[in-house]
């Protein structure tokens, strides 16, 4: 651990494969246990929606996401034509919530939501969504994964807060932070770039790799590891 001063040792769009998203081959209704799943019709379509301003996003149900920061607010969807109407997008108290109204779908191409926003403070994934964040900036950014989703991000922020519960991964080498707090519970992995202070904690078999020469406060419980890259 090449920490400068140890303080304490304690897509374009991504294509998603998840438990509710069927890729390749033929499917049979007997292979799916929930009749509420919606099957895509194979006809690709796009849709643009008016949306209120937001600075946080929560996404569920294996919907992929691209967020471009520093641009006027916008939202568009791409996927099977008959699935788009079942994608719920609503803003509550400044947070954009994205989910299926039936809780699951079957598609060869998946569903992609592309967003633009002047500012972004938080992104939370529940499930197996893949998220790309472009040009994050500002004082704070909070990233959360509950499940097996992935987050890729670029940009620069003052303080970064990262938490994984499950097997998700965060690819953040191109997102620089002055200070970062990273917590993994499970088998997820984090790659991050930090300049001044890193607080990192692992409970389980996850791994944290960091670039930079920050002061460090590190804790590992389990078979996980934390080291500089």
> Of the candidates 162, 218, 214, which has an alpha carbon nearest to the alpha carbon of residue 188?
162
Mean pLDDT score of the chain, rounded to an integer?
Answer: 88
Q: What is the pLDDT of residue 88?
A: 97
- For CA atoms 125, 133, 95, 15, the dihedral sign is negative
Class of domain 6-228: mainly beta
Residues in contact with 209: Cβ distance below 8 Å, sequence separation at least 6, in sequence order: 189, 190, 191, 192, 226, 227, 228, 229
Which of the four pLDDT bands, split at 50, 70 and 90, describes residue 171?
Answer: very high
Q: What is the pLDDT of residue 3?
A: 58
Domain boundaries, given as residue ranges, for the chain: 6-228
Using DSSP bridges, classify how beta strands 6-9 and 38-39 pair: parallel, antiparallel or unpaired: unpaired
Give yes or no for residue 80 having a pLDDT over 80: yes
pTM of the prediction? 0.86
Helix segments in 72-211, DSSP class H: 81-84
């Amino acid at each position: 651990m090449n920490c400068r001063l140890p303080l304490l040792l304690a897509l374009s769009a991504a294509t998603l494969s998840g438990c509710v998203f069927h890729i390749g081959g033929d499917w049979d209704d007997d292979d799916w246990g929930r009749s509420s799943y919606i099957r895509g019709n194979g006809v690709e379509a796009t849709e643009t929606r008016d949306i209120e301003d937001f600075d946080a996003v929560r996404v569920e149900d294996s919907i992929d996401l691209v967020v471009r920061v520093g641009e006027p607010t916008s939202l568009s969807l791409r996927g099977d034509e008959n699935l788009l109407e079942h994608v719920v997008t609503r803003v509550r108290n400044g947070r954009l919530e994205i989910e299926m109204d039936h809780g699951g779908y079957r598609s060869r191409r998946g569903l992609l939501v592309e967003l633009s926003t002047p500012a972004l403070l938080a992104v939370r994934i529940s499930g197996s969504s893949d998220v790309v964040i472009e040009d994050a900036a500002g004082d704070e950014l909070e990233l959360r994964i509950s499940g097996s989703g992935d987050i890729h991000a670029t940009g620069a922020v003052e303080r970064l807060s990262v938490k994984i519960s499950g097997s998700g991964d965060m690819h953040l080498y191109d997102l620089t932070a002055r200070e970062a707090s990273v917590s993994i519970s499970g088998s997820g992995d984090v790659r991050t770039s930090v300049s001044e202070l890193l607080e990192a904690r692992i409970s389980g078999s996850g791994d944290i790799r960091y670039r930079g020469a920050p002061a460090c406060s590190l804790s590992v419980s389990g078979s996980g590891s934390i080291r500089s890259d």
